[in-house]
Amino acid sequence: MAAPARHLHIPVEHTTLANGLRVVASPDRSAPFVTVGVYYQIGFRLEPHGRSGFAHLFEHMMFQGSENAGKMEHIRLINSSGGLLNGTTNYDITNYFESVPSNALERVLWLEADRMRALKVDDENLRNQRDVVKEEVRVNVFNQPYGGFPWLDLPPVAFRNWPNAHNFYGDFADLDAATLADVQQFFRTYYSPNNAVLLILGDFEPAEAFALAKRYFEGIPSQPLPPRADISEPAQTEERRGEVAEKLGPLPAIAIGYTMPPRETPDWYAAAILDSILHGGRAGRVYRKLVLEEQIAVDAEGGADLLDTNGPTQMVSRIFHKPEFTSEGTVAVYDEVIEELQHTGVPADELDAVKVKFRADYYSMLEGGMGSHMPRFGLMHYLACFTLFDGDPNRVNTILDGFLAVTPEQVQAVAKKYLVPRNRAVLMRRPVNPGGAQ
């Protein structure tokens, strides 16, 4: 009934400059735009002790001015070229990216090089962005029902090593304690060309793009990198549990996180497929059981950040359940889903369907990934992760094969090995006011 699948091949070219900056280009002349990203291999996991939230605060500082582009200049130059820009802070990476008409490519590269070479900020900028970040935390966490659930709630319960377990958005006292000297130190330590990858995607000739990259970035000196910090977790021996008060929302919420196998191991591929069996939308087993069949939950979904993390990470199920059911009882029904998978495995037709959806979702991620505002955002993101974590951007063309080769036996084995209480954390958000708004 289906036509033959078209094999997708993404063109990828890459080089490393003399200062250690990796440059990855993926040309596509079909529309006159380029998406450019600079990814630094530093995320909130490795921010300094006593400075929770600093990696994210620092990301804001990267928009506050560099040697030749003062405050708001970076933003003005991108917007007035017809483009959009943003930055995000993640576990193991911080990224800065722009989508612009392709005639602005050289300008974008100049801007990114200028701030990689010489950030130029002052105390006033720091005070200003500290205020902005606090409002960001309030609007996303304190003043939202289920704010921070579970990305801020679960790590302190699930993990024991500070890099994995602290408040990534930052305690306000820690944000207040951050100084300009901290900003400069962090910049010197982590924002060097040899700790980064430059991605250029879209409408350009690769030779021209590499020449421009060399021209603007190669003169930036490399820096000795600190020894890789120990982000490993001590062995877990029993289930971990935690509770957080939900001050606004009326429904009880539960997050269940299982720590995943290390990146690029055979178990890791099988775990990604297992994740899709459990969480693949309304056909996923968790939604089907809890929302459609038993009708305990109002919503139940989840997922694992496997491709873009490089350290301890969890597959997390998020469940919002009706108030007439207990959270304990809800977890017990969830456990039936897990046990069934462990005992009877996955039928071949279900596995085949999950793989088709996995392939479709992968393509969708490559094409867009940030609404329709940042074309090829997902492709940029994966190219960066494959370069920084695995040393091979071409993995973007081969990684799917690994997921599609997973067998039913592997899925069942990984379910038995990883989906066990001694490998999980359970976090309950309990409403202070179960009736809702007064």
Residue 283 interacts with another protein (CB under 8 A): yes or no = yes
Residue (165 or 248) nearer to another protein, CB: 248
First to last CA, the chain: 55
Residue (265 or 398) nearer to another protein, CB: 398
Contact by Cβ (8 Å): 411, 273: yes
Residue 104 interacts with another protein (CB under 8 A): yes or no = yes
Subset of 379-438 contacting another protein (CB under 8 A) = 436-438
Classify each residue of 10-28 as buried b or exposed e, where b means 16 or more C-beta atoms within 10 Å of its C-beta. Answer: bebbbeebebbbbbbbbbb
Residue 189 interacts with another protein (CB under 8 A): yes or no = no
Residue (93 or 366) nearer to another protein, CB: 366
Among 11, 70, 103, 422, indicate the residue that binds another protein (CB under 8 A).
Answer: 103
Residue (151 or 162) nearer to another protein, CB: 151
Among 354, 383, 385, 419, indicate the residue that binds another protein (CB under 8 A).
Answer: 354
Q: Is 365 exposed, middle or buried (0-12, 13-18, 19+ CB in 10 A)?
A: middle
Cβ partners under 8 Å of residue 5, min gap 6: 359
Among 21, 42, 57, 105, indicate the residue that binds another protein (CB under 8 A).
Answer: 105
Residue 84 interacts with another protein (CB under 8 A): yes or no = yes
Residue 87 interacts with another protein (CB under 8 A): yes or no = no
CB of 25 to another protein, least distance (A): 9
Among 332, 348, 356, 405, indicate the residue that binds another protein (CB under 8 A).
Answer: 356
Contact by Cβ (8 Å): 251, 431: yes
ω into 252 cis (within 30 of 0) = no
Cβ partners under 8 Å of residue 272, min gap 6: 304, 306, 358, 403, 406
Residue (33 or 403) nearer to another protein, CB: 33
Of residues 128, 123, 31, 114, the one with CA closest to residue 65: 114
How many residues are given for the chain?
438
Alpha helices in 70-177 (DSSP H): 73-79, 105-117, 123-137, 154-158, 162-165, 172-177
Among 122, 132, 239, 398, indicate the residue that binds another protein (CB under 8 A).
Answer: 132
CB of 398 to another protein, least distance (A): 17
Among 165, 363, 390, 420, indicate the residue that binds another protein (CB under 8 A).
Answer: 363
Residue 138 interacts with another protein (CB under 8 A): yes or no = yes
How many C-beta atoms lie closer than 10 Å to residue 161's C-beta?
A: 16
Amino acid found at 209: A
Residue 139 interacts with another protein (CB under 8 A): yes or no = yes
Site residue total, another protein (CB under 8 A): 111
CB of 19 to another protein, least distance (A): 9
Subset of 313-352 contacting another protein (CB under 8 A) = 320, 322, 352
Q: How many CA atoms lie within 13 A of 75 on its CB side?
A: 10
Subset of 212-241 contacting another protein (CB under 8 A) = 212-219
Name all contacts of 350-356 with Cβ < 8 Å and 24+ positions apart. Answer: 350/277, 351/273, 351/277, 351/406, 351/408, 351/411, 353/283, 354/273, 354/276, 354/277, 354/280, 355/273, 355/403, 355/404, 355/406
Residue (214 or 263) nearer to another protein, CB: 214
Residue 160 interacts with another protein (CB under 8 A): yes or no = no
Among 36, 254, 291, 307, indicate the residue that binds another protein (CB under 8 A).
Answer: 291
Among 360, 392, 398, 405, indicate the residue that binds another protein (CB under 8 A).
Answer: 360
CB of 265 to another protein, least distance (A): 26
